[in-house]
Amino acid sequence: MLRDLLTPEDHADPYIWAAVFAAHAWVGAALVIVLGDIHLALTGYLLFEVLQAVVSRRLIVLDSVLDWLAVVLGAAMIWTEAGRWIVALICVAIAAGWIWKRRHR
């Protein structure tokens, strides 16, 4: 299943396409949370797309543009809605609660 999501040829089904688009949006959101800067997150992902094209020796322009746009939308969603520090603190609180719960079973 995951392998099907990684190849542009398998995006003929609109549900798979939507799932891949949403996954890329969450990648953008996660990059902003982890890196703390929207510009660093978007530049980093853009470099990843370029590296991916170099390694695979083919550039699928439409796929790369759509992936990057989804990442931009996810990053913008987190950046504008909650702010980077609030979201980061929520993630830290969730992780700490999960660790505490696992240790005190």
Taking residue 29's Cβ as centre, other Cβ atoms within 10 Å add up to: 22
- Residue 4 reports pLDDT greater than 60: no
Spatial separation of the C-alpha atoms in residues 15 and 59, rounded to whole Å? 24
Q: Look up the domain containing 26 and give its range.
A: 2-103
Domain count for the chain: 1
Arithmetic mean of pLDDT, 7-11:
59
- Residue 44 reports pLDDT greater than 80: yes
Arithmetic mean of pLDDT, 86-91:
72
Spatial separation of the C-alpha atoms in residues 101 and 105, rounded to whole Å? 6
Tokens coding 24: 């890329």
pLDDT classification of 96: cutoffs 50, 70, 90: confident
Residue with the bigger pLDDT between 95 and 85: it is: 95
Average pLDDT over all residues of the chain: 78
Which residues have CB under 8 Å from 82's CB, separation 6+? 90
pLDDT classification of 77: cutoffs 50, 70, 90: confident
Highest mean pLDDT, choosing among 8-22, 39-53, 88-102: 39-53
Task: Identify which of 17, 18, 34, 26 has the alpha carbon closest to the alpha carbon of residue 75.
Answer: 26
Task: Say what the pLDDT of residue 8 is.
Answer: 58
Distance of CA 72 to the CA centre of its chain: 9
